[in-house]
Structure 1
Amino acid sequence: MAKISGSEIRPGYVIEHNGGLWAAVKTNTVKPGKGGAYNQVELKNLVDGTKLNERFRSAETVERVQLDLKDFTFLYEQGDALIFMDTDSYEQLELQKEFVGDRAAFLQDGMKVTVQLYEDRPIGISLPDQVVLTVAEADPVVRGQTAASSYKPAVLENGVRVLVPPFIEAGERVLVDTNEIAYLRRAD
């Protein structure tokens, strides 16, 4: 850990604040007409996801926390648990589905993920930004629909619903953004 000035906090930094670990989401330097400048920081708790807006003056110091990033491979799902393997040591790591959140539906056998660790405790996970999936069901195109509303609902092989262009049919493979949970384009 390293001490930094409150004015040095940037988005993506992880700091220790009020006894918890917080990630800076947004920062804004404010210079009011009276008084000293301060850094308005939107923080997100890395454990429970709560958000907080905090002002940090440049005279204040905070502990910047360095997270360890480790590569893991997704192996399988067992009830509410997801099993991953450390690509270096081959040790297995078990994470609860709720820890991964909605994006757990995008995990595929052998998928590489990055786990953020603090003092060997997992506090975050990053999946690939895009995955290729097969469309399981796609609604038929309604004739006479205007181009502006031409996207139609579809269900992917993992059960996730997305909107796709009218030319996409069941059985086609598509590229999906795992962050926005949205159709990007046909897969090659």
Structure 2
Amino acid sequence: MKINGNAIRPGMVIEHQGRLWRAVKIQHTQPGKGGAYLQVELKDIRSGTKLNDRFRSSETVERARLDQKDYQFIFSEGDMFTFMDTETYDQITLSGDLIGEDQAPYLQEGMTVTIESHDDDPIAMQLPDTVALDIVEADAVVKGQTASSSYKPALLENGVRTLVPPHIETGTRVIINTADGSYVERAKD
């Protein structure tokens, strides 16, 4: 599908120079002389290389059609992760490079994720927005730090460190944002 060069948004996947690119950052620029353009930082989906390019509103860009399908995470073996299609029960195995080292710790058995594919070739995986995890280690509260909203370091069951409010203790189940690993709230279960 053709779109104007100024319609590119972060997260969008486009076909450019014969390859698939994901827009990471965009900046609209209006120089004093000449026409306005969009400065876009692109990341190659397959190789991970980055490219900065300018797109004018008069240019057209091909937006890639991605198929999104829900899969259930089954297990991981080394650097390979196995998922099952929730409709056909077919299994696919993805490499750790495709999943990303920042997302892999949040995968839990039975979790439903969305896998994006282009021409039946998986190119990305999206986690749910939040996950529930147990705190396995939390620092003690320092008395007298209640004047401002203070947070203390804690270790989650998946090995990721995060900051939690002072009232959260070891063994507490909390909701964590998968995008940045930040504390959201205490789990209600």
> Which TM-score applies when normalising by structure 1?
0.89
- Alignment-derived partner of residue 175 in structure 1: 175
1:10-159 to 2 correspondences below 5 Å: 10-101=9-100, 102-145=102-145, 147-148=147-148, 150-159=150-159
* Offset, 1:106: 0.8
Please give the secondary structure, in 1, of the residue aligned with 2:98.
helix
* Offset, 1:112: 0.5
Over the aligned positions, Cα root-mean-square deviation in angstroms equals 1.9
> Is there any run of 5+ residues in structure 2 with no aligned partner, and where?
none
* Offset, 1:74: 0.3
> Which TM-score applies when normalising by structure 2?
0.88
1:29-86 Cα deviation digits (max 9, x unpaired):
4343332332322322222333322111233332221111111000111122111001
In structure 1, C-alpha distance between the alignment counterparts of 2:9 and 2:134, rounded to whole Å: 39
Please give the secondary structure, in 2, of the residue aligned with 1:47.
coil
Amino acid at match of 1:142: V
Please give the secondary structure, in 1, of the residue aligned with 2:103.
helix
**Distance 1:139-1:7 versus aligned 2 partners, 3 A rule:** closer
Please give the secondary structure, in 2, of the residue aligned with 1:35.
coil
In structure 2, C-alpha distance between the alignment counterparts of 1:165 and 1:58, rounded to whole Å: 47
1:130-174 Cα deviation digits (max 9, x unpaired):
011111111111233464473111111111111111111111100
Deviates more, 1:41-50 or 1:85-94: 41-50
Please give the secondary structure, in 2, of the residue aligned with 1:98.
helix
In structure 1, C-alpha distance between the alignment counterparts of 2:35 and 2:97, rounded to whole Å: 42
In structure 2, C-alpha distance between the alignment counterparts of 1:5 and 1:145, rounded to whole Å: 53
Amino acid at match of 2:73: F
- Alignment-derived partner of residue 186 in structure 2: 186
